[in-house]
Structure 1
């Protein structure tokens, strides 16, 4: 196949869909890769590195869009780019087109196929393709660093001639991939870490990292689709917030990572809870980018908000803040997916082929212009 990589155009997006390493895997399998000049620059990958891997460099998107079978991407395509695709082109990316929104209508008109990596099933065969998990790991690590940077106190216990400095207390809400990485990062920095998640599998995972799991008098639940928590009722969330309130008040830093795919992020930290925290404390909300609001009532995506002496940091496309490693992981996921979806070097393209493959069936949003 002829595979294309463009410079990402979404605001705050610094990642690239394929790195030289992952492009090289596809080239070694017999595919051709065309990369827009400068596409990897924000992720510290220059054109020469792509050339050395065997990719061809194009000066403009137009040189690529009219001559490829497959376009790889990170964020959702804009309408102008989608309109330049050759009819029948396949697209693989994270932000799936939704009917009636964005470029969806254009992709339908172009008889395009779209595979959405966020719909990947959580099965053993798909682990190497799991872009949501790899990017959540990056975000969780970054959240731990942001909390340490913004907190005007030490994270670790320090014994000095001037006296002993107690360790910071960090509370992590949500113990999925991002939450567990935030816990591990805060622990490595020396903080005392507590965490909570409503999933019944969370206590063992939290304790395995040396953190204390908060056992609250609230309902637990088995993991939903893909291992994620399911959406809670308003009553259950209210009881959870009430139970969490004293722990939030006692924390020096609160990191929130709770998310339910396709749903609003659960509101876990209210303005009233923030007002009971000590001045100088920090809240890092990884869910702030959710269009319906984040885990903290006061967070704003990409902004630091101060309220009653507490700093609330709202995450915005957090993996892009570590674009180099985020792109390396994402590119590996992308290459694994493309290679797995090929038969005799060609992407699955018929309803029967897609339906017969568990991964393809889960990820295929559009097939030759028709929603599935």
Structure 2
């Protein structure tokens, strides 16, 4: 069924198939470990990671489908909530992909509702500060501000490695009232480079090695802690890693915590730490606009109508040069917008810039 699905420019379907091949072709002795990892990945993708095995066993597929249908048929206004500053906030349910699950367990007993407060309440309510990406996913723990009724509050943005604030809410400064308030900071990945210095790659993005590097068991590098060497490779074969987190050595040197995503290699799936030094590791996707690019993928690249690489418009062969109008971000990747308005990948293993 997966094989029959269409693939996109980034090869997401092919990557999934390769991971599944790796899972089921592995030795029986390590199957349980790999299976647990994939089950965890699938649970996260379906927003089920907070459910226990016992709770998962109680999910009723038919009831869940009926609940989903009911949600999808509701008017959008049902999920819009007025805020104190006059704006509207969309329900988080929509930002989680409209996932809903029902169980065959009896409905819980709902306690008596909280009594309606009197007309002149004298206590202030907290201000909740959220830090999310453009899809509504939390990037940092929520902060809670409290104070006296009528007192001033100042909700400040959090510093998050690899991200920058793209939307500052209007209610970052205000006063505590008798109603709960929410301040939501929206972030996007930092994709602009300042001179020769590149930003730290955001969590979830992909990097590759441009020189020989080691993968280490701990953030403090040593021969004893080295898990594997990665030799220097030509551009299209450079070893790639997904950034899963960050750490520092005992001397305070920053490291990437990564997962090896070099499919069909002996190291695929390995996890550990690599250097953040941009002389050795850089992001796989270009971070700034270039006037021209050249296709270096042997199979060529496709141009699409939309930046999520859907709506194929053209195919460009190996060696073709393309004029670029601008660069845009899409989740944790980037796309080049060509002079004709179509989108192509900005993956450095598939295209390169030319003068």
TM-score computed with the length of structure 1 as normaliser: 0.24
Bigger RCO of structures 1 and 2 (CA < 8 A, at least 6 apart): 1
More helix by share: 1
Greater radius of gyration (CA): 2
More strand by share: 2
